[in-house]
Chains A and B, each alone.
Chain A
């Protein structure tokens, strides 16, 4: 009898704890669900088909003094022929500017060092090829955003690119957004491959009101491997 009473008491205690835990978790779930409806998080951005803006002069990004140790590799060289990414997977870039002072790593042995460019038909929505990025660059109506770290940026970046990391958006809209014209398309890149920092930054840019946002799928390594211009040095507008 005493043993049964003890067992009953234990079961009662266990039931009480289960109810308490269920109330804590249940309350959190209900309030959290309501919060999710009131303040939904954005997990994907709106993507559209890439189309070139009308041709025009590339805008100069105005800033303060130019960093004295900034170098612009290949700027005075004739622009290389744009790559056709669909038929260049696994093949060398064979750029005519290989003899120019373009970033050396992308031109070793006169080719791309075996860089595998991703063909257009294998890109995710909202991603563009190196060739499309180049065309946007030449059109003069696209802003480029580098989503990599400061050190990576300084080692080399697309000329005129503004550096914006996800951390810059944590406290709200970063001041650098004033340098990105809203009427231009925005092209974001990072390290290519598994790097998804560009996707995160693109989402934040969309949340900040930018609309035509694209990501260079093969990132900066692809741009460099294709033999396009590369700038090195710190940002003018940190």
Chain B
């Protein structure tokens, strides 16, 4: 129980474990997770959208996965996916609609993991294209590292989805 003299007796009997303005652990973890996950997704999406060849490079990556998609589906996934990533990532960073944004990102990550698993199972030698032309954390060729990378991000998205909205600082 806080030592602060600022709380009234009524507030003290019914309320909070920490004094107003104290950094909460849950709030801090959520804050950092939001920034990191949202930042990674905005950065990944930017690399896929960046002129002059971002969209074409991403389309080539999608086709290299040999999913048997018709042309319209390749175009749709190539153009729409990065923009959903940008919007959801930006919302996470700004703390807007956190659970919904995290859920959208979580679904995207689950799909990416399934696709990468499919590529590995079929022993295809392809580049991930996860961050456009960059591969900051894993080798360019798709492998288990990409699954682990996406798995870690998925854990963050799940955490943000199921954790109740908590501010960075406790409120009075």
Residues of A within 8 A of B (CB): 17, 20-21, 24-25, 27-29, 31-33, 35-36, 39-44, 166, 169-172, 196, 200, 207
Chain A, Cβ-Cβ closest to B90 = A24
A28–B59 CB distance below 8 A = no
A-chain residues with CB within 8 Å of residue B133 when the two chains form the complex: 170-171
B93 within 8 Å of A (CB atoms): no
B-chain residues with CB within 8 Å of residue A36 when the two chains form the complex: 55, 75-76, 78-80
A-chain residues with CB within 8 Å of residue B97 when the two chains form the complex: 20, 24
B101 within 8 Å of A (CB atoms): yes
A-chain residues with CB within 8 Å of residue B99 when the two chains form the complex: 17
A166–B60 CB distance below 8 A = yes
B-chain residues with CB within 8 Å of residue A170 when the two chains form the complex: 53, 57, 133
B100–A32 CB distance below 8 A = no
B52–A42 CB distance below 8 A = no
B24 within 8 Å of A (CB atoms): no
B-chain residues with CB within 8 Å of residue A44 when the two chains form the complex: 71
Q: List the 4 shortest-distance A-B pairs measured between CB atoms, nearest first.
A: A28-B84, A32-B80, A36-B79, A20-B100
Residues of B within 8 A of A (CB): 49, 51-53, 55-57, 59-60, 63-64, 71, 74-76, 78-88, 91, 97, 99-101, 103-104, 133
A-chain residues with CB within 8 Å of residue B64 when the two chains form the complex: 196, 200
The number of residue pairs between A and B whose CB atoms lie closer than 8 Å in the complex comes to 85
B74–A17 CB distance below 8 A = no
* Distance in Å: Cβ of B46 to nearest Cβ of chain A: 13
> How far, in angstroms, from A212 to B76 measured CA to CA in the complex?
29
Which secondary structure dominates where chain A touches chain B? helix
B-chain residues with CB within 8 Å of residue A200 when the two chains form the complex: 60, 63-64
B63–A43 CB distance below 8 A = yes
A35–B104 CB distance below 8 A = no
B79–A33 CB distance below 8 A = yes
> How far, in angstroms, from A41 to B71 measured CA to CA in the complex?
10
14 additional A-B residue pairs with CB within 8 Å, beyond A24-B101, A32-B82: A25-B104, A28-B81, A28-B84, A31-B87, A32-B80, A33-B79, A35-B79, A41-B55, A41-B79, A42-B56, A42-B59, A43-B75, A172-B52, A172-B53
